Amino acid sequence: MESQISWHVELMVKPGQLDDFRTLTSKMVEFAKGEPGVLVYERYISEDGQSVHVYERYTGSAAAVMHLRAFKDIFGARFSSMVERKRFMVYGTPSAELKEILDGFGPIYLSLFAGFSR
């Protein structure tokens, strides 16, 4: 069985982009709902609308690769123009293929050493 992969990304919304960012985020969430390997796809925003935390969890590396490829083609350029990435944390053991994609974001990789989820 393939190990689940998740990540937490901290973003800052660029000035004047909040309304467009919210609209784009709604489209991204609807798109992700149709992807079978997406387990969690959540966005949290600060009261001032500047700080956004992203949490995503996938059934495994293959599902994450599929998502990232689709995301890049459909949303990547617009999304990147609206935010500044502050921190990218990857949890689990990504495949070589997924790691090659994620390395472009400058993440910190963390492997589970204790605990459980239900």
CATH of the domain at 77: 3.30.70.100
Confirm whether 37 is domain-assigned: yes
Cα–Cα separations (whole angstroms), residue 91 to 48, 105, 110:
28, 14, 5
Which residue segment(s) compose the domain that 54 sits in? 5-110
The share of the chain scoring above pLDDT 70, in percent, equals 98
Q: Work out the pLDDT band at 74, boundaries 50, 70, 90.
A: very high
Contact assessment for residue 107 and residue 88, using Cβ atoms and an 8 Å cutoff: yes
What's the structural domain count of the chain? 1
Confirm whether 66 is domain-assigned: yes
Confirm whether 95 is domain-assigned: yes
Confirm whether 115 is domain-assigned: no
Nearest residue to 5 (alpha-carbon basis) of 72, 67, 74, 84: 67
pTM of the model: 0.93
Confirm whether 67 is domain-assigned: yes
Q: Compute the C-alpha angle 18/64/36, nearest 5°.
A: 95
- pLDDT at site 2: 67
Which tens digits make up the pLDDT trace of 38-73?
999 999 999 999 999 999 999 999 999 999 999 999
